[in-house]
């Protein structure tokens, strides 16, 4: 299973609100039905309250999905839930874009809190 204990944090460097966006273009997991690899891009956006996620730990966390048989929707929601539990952000949005299979591409959006209008597109 994906391991949220891999996630490390550091204190937010300031008190003025700001937005962080991280993009991972090399995410992989496994289709639970066919066993074929799924490839996607993950966009993480959040406004930290007290903690930010450390990037190497985020990469290792994402890699813990590599051999996991899990649906797109479950991946997206799991990442949101684990990051919310770890960071307690003001708001957070996880958008996953999955490469096409059988002519169908999928994008899944999972949020916590009220995402500002500028990040809802």
The string of pLDDT tens digits covering residues 45-78 is 999 999 999 999 999 999 999 999 999 999 999 9
Is the residue at 12 inside a domain? no
> Among residues 81, 98, 97, which one has the least CA distance to residue 89?
81
Q: Could you list the active site residues?
A: 31, 38
> Among residues 28, 95, 5, 18, which one has the least CA distance to residue 49?
18
Q: State the alpha helices, DSSP H only, in 6-95.
A: 55-63, 72-87
Per-residue confidence (pLDDT) for residue 120, from 0 to 100? 67
pLDDT category, 121, cuts 50, 70, 90? low
> Among residues 88, 84, 99, which one has the least CA distance to residue 37?
99
Could you give the C-alpha distances from 62 to 6, 49, 121, in angstroms and in order? Answer: 9, 22, 24
Is the residue at 103 inside a domain? yes
**Torsion sign across C-alpha atoms 62, 66, 72, 74:** negative
Residue at token pair 């949220």: 4
pLDDT category, 80, cuts 50, 70, 90? very high
Is the residue at 80 inside a domain? yes
Is the residue at 13 inside a domain? no
Domain count across the chain: 1
pLDDT in tens, 9-39: 999 998 899 999 999 999 999 999 999 999 9
């Amino acid at each position: 299973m994906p391991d949220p204990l891999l996630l490390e944090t550091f204190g937010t460097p300031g008190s003025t609100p700001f937005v962080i966006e991280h993009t991972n273009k090399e995410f992989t997991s496994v289709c639970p039905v066919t066993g074929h690899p799924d490839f996607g891009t993950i966009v993480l956006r959040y406004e930290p309250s007290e903690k930010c996620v450390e990037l190497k730990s985020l990469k290792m966390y994402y890699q813990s999905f590599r051999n996991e048989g899990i649906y797109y929707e479950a991946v997206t929601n799991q990442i949101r839930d684990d990051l919310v539990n770890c960071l307690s952000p003001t708001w957070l949005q996880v958008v996953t874009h999955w490469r096409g299979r059988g002519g169908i591409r999928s994008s899944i959006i999972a949020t916590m809190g009220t995402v500002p209008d500028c990040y809802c597109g």
